Structure 1
Amino acid sequence: MEDMYLHRAEMKDLPQIESIIQDGKRHLAAQHIDQWQGGYPNTRVLVDDIQNGHTMVLVDDYDILGTAAVIPAPDQSYQVIDGDWLTHDETYVAIHRVAVSANHRGQGLSGKLFDAIFNEIEQHKSVKGVRIDTHPENKGMQHVIKKAGFTETGRVEVLADEDTMVQDFAYEKLTNAGTLV
């Protein structure tokens, strides 16, 4: 796994991405975490992410190890926060739908995926912040997010499935272009 790199996903990557998302759903269910246990994220969401150029994948050879959607502002989920963002305009990107392959879990891939995404974002000098959220019971992702240098900023209300809203923990990390780094 020395030749890992990040690239923008293509439609041919969809089967591996869907498999990794399913791995994530099963992993959360095994921990009794009610995140991703409805219909979200579904194929339509993943296809939209790829077609819009938002999905980034961490690859080793031809094997996709991890995936995340990196979406430019404004993000509807982040318009209202019970707290305060570190950036106060639309100079941020949001990271959603982070998952790593069950075949490689426990190898620090989430951190490597975040590092690669941050390196990509740093190329865009206008981006001042990176925002992310996670379910209050998802302690593993909270640990990964904090270890990656994010600051907890409050709570955001997100749609868990077609009928259920959840108050997720919200985080932001400033980039080198940010004012408080």
Structure 2
Amino acid sequence: MYLRRAEMKDLSQIESIIQDGKKHLAAQHIDQWQGGYPNTNVLVDDIQNGHTMVLVEGYEVLGTAAVIPAPDESYQVIDGEWLTRGDNYVAIHRVAVSANHRGQGLSGKLFAAIFKEIEEHSSVKGIRIDTHPDNKGMQHVIKKSGFTSTGTVEVLADEQTSVHDFAYEKLTRAGSLVNAQ
């Protein structure tokens, strides 16, 4: 099992995982990803911009996440306080794992591999993420992965709906060293 940047050939597997994620959230009565987001255009843009990371075993994509460099529009205003200042962070969005492997700790493995990649190839000080207030499963994975709750951010789900997601940040080694001084 390893992490790599997604390629266009992975799109159908990524879309399938996202669709499974939407169904899983709907089955739990969580109003996240229940509109048109994330759609094919968003996923294609993520891949073409080199933001999508996939956890792979053999030829199978087990999990996916978009790791996007700052600044992130959703994170400009927070009801709370980020651990880092400025734009020295990356944001993780659109995290999903294969329904065929749910319950095997893949989200934690995906996060661990992403953290390792960030530490080895970046000097950012923080990693930010948010999730829907009703998504207790993702909140658990986020906290277990070492993120600190920082407040809430407004996410525009569509033109009519806004959601105040729970926001989290995790310091990288670079961020921990700066904050320790």
The percentage of aligned residue pairs carrying the same residue is 83
What amino acid does structure 1 have at the position aligned with 2:28? Q
What amino acid does structure 2 have at the position aligned with 1:133? D
Counterpart position of 2:49: 52
Is 1:164 aligned with 2:173?
Answer: no
Higher helix share: 2
Name which of 2, 18, 21 aligns with 1:21. 18
What amino acid does structure 1 have at the position aligned with 2:137? G
Q: For residues 122 and 110 of structure 2, what CA distance do their matches in structure 1 show?
A: 20
In structure 2, runs of 5+ residues without a counterpart are none
Counterpart position of 2:85: 88
Which stretch of structure 1 is more off in the superposition, 96-105 or 155-164? 155-164
Counterpart position of 2:5: 8
Q: For residues 19 and 162 of structure 1, what CA distance do their matches in structure 2 show?
A: 26
Deviation at 1:164, TM superposition (A): 1.1
C-alpha offsets along residues 14-59 of structure 1, whole Å, 9 cap, x if unaligned?
Answer: 0000000001000000000000000000000000000000000000
Counterpart position of 2:140: 143
C-alpha offsets along residues 44-96 of structure 1, whole Å, 9 cap, x if unaligned?
Answer: 00000000000000000000000000000000000000000000111100000
Task: Kindly report structure 1 stretches of 4+ aligned residues shifted beyond 3 Å.
Answer: none
Compute the TM-score of the two structures, normalised by the length of structure 2: 0.96
Counterpart position of 1:128: 125
**Corresponding residue SS for 2:174:** coil
Compute the TM-score of the two structures, normalised by the length of structure 1: 0.96
Contact 1:174 1:180 (C-alpha < 8 Å) held by counterparts: no
**Corresponding residue SS for 1:33:** coil
Aligned residues: 178
Q: For residues 156 and 112 of structure 2, what CA distance do their matches in structure 1 show?
A: 27
Q: For residues 110 and 95 of structure 1, what CA distance do their matches in structure 2 show?
A: 12
Q: For residues 173 and 20 of structure 2, what CA distance do their matches in structure 1 show?
A: 33
In structure 1, runs of 5+ residues without a counterpart are none
Q: For residues 105 and 159 of structure 1, what CA distance do their matches in structure 2 show?
A: 28
Q: For residues 89 and 125 of structure 1, what CA distance do their matches in structure 2 show?
A: 16
Contact 1:125 1:177 (C-alpha < 8 Å) held by counterparts: no
Q: For residues 64 and 100 of structure 1, what CA distance do their matches in structure 2 show?
A: 9
Aligned-residue CA RMSD (Å): 0.9
Counterpart position of 1:97: 94
Is 1:114 aligned with 2:107?
Answer: no
